[in-house]
């Protein structure tokens, strides 16, 4: 009876350990931060204010805002000015990532299927660039999609500049924000 019950009620598969995942992320953070600290561009700007983000076990970002720390005391006094400063300011981004795993296909002899061998994960790569904040980049993409949508719906009668001016008006911004809040406008892909 116990054997029959065991086959009928299968034991749940053991889940991966969250502790193991957290340990991997911690090890990655130390390894990638150590690698980052050896880069000349990073060391040259190290005295400036910056934030480090460890994203999973593959990427680490160190972001140094152009104007230093954000003036959060400005939020209540002048929110539009704060918003404009956040969206317009640039950041110096240092990125450490693992290079993609290299794959090699080996053709089997005769009718045998191909065998795939995966090498160990690649080396660490370092890149830096001056760019806008990620929030500003997302906003640019959303605005671009909205301009394209309006242009396509109006039969391409209006130029992108005309559409941009129309969307930038305060009344249109409020309407768009309300529709996003209501859920009638959603960002897809």
Render pLDDT for 106-132 as a digit per residue (tens, 0 to 9): 555 555 555 555 555 568 889 999 988
138 and 96 in a common domain: no
| Average pLDDT estimate for 140-169 | 81
165 and 185 assigned to the same domain: yes
User: How far apart, in whole angstroms, are the C-alpha atoms of residue 154 and residue 156?
Assistant: 6
- Residues facing residue 124 across a β-bridge: 98
| 10-64 per-position pLDDT tens digit | 665 555 677 887 888 888 888 888 998 898 888 888 888 888 888 877 788 889 9
Q: Is the whole-model pTM more than 0.85?
A: no
Within 46-189, strands assigned E span 51-55, 59-65, 90-98, 103-106, 115-118, 124-132
Residue 55 pLDDT: 82
Range of the domain at 65: 11-101+121-131
Q: Is residue 152 part of a domain?
A: yes
Counted domains in the chain: 2
Q: What was the pLDDT predicted at 9? A: 58
Residue 65 vs residue 177, higher pLDDT:
65
Distance CA 114, CA 107 (A): 5
Q: Read off the tokens for 141.
A: 């993409």
């Amino acid at each position: 009876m116990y054997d029959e019950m065991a086959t009928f009620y299968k034991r749940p598969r053991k889940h991966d350990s969250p502790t193991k995942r957290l340990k991997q992320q911690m090890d990655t953070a130390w390894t990638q931060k150590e690698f980052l600290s050896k880069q000349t561009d990073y060391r040259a700007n190290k005295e400036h204010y910056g934030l480090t983000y460890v994203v999973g076990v593959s990427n680490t970002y160190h972001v140094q805002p152009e104007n230093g720390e954000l003036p959060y005391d400005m939020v209540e006094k002048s929110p539009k000015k704060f918003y404009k400063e956040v969206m317009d300011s640039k950041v110096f981004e240092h990125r450490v990532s693992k290079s993609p795993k290299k794959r090699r296909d080996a053709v089997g002899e005769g009718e045998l299927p191909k065998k795939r061998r995966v090498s160990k994960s690649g080396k660490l790569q370092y890149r830096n660039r001056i760019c806008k904040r990620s929030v500003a980049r997302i906003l640019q993409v959303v605005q671009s999609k909205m301009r394209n949508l309006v242009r396509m719906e109006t039969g391409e009668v209006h130029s992108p500049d005309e559409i941009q001016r129309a969307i930038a008006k305060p009344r249109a911004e409020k309407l768009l924000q309300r529709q996003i809040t209501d859920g009638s406008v959603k960002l897809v892909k």
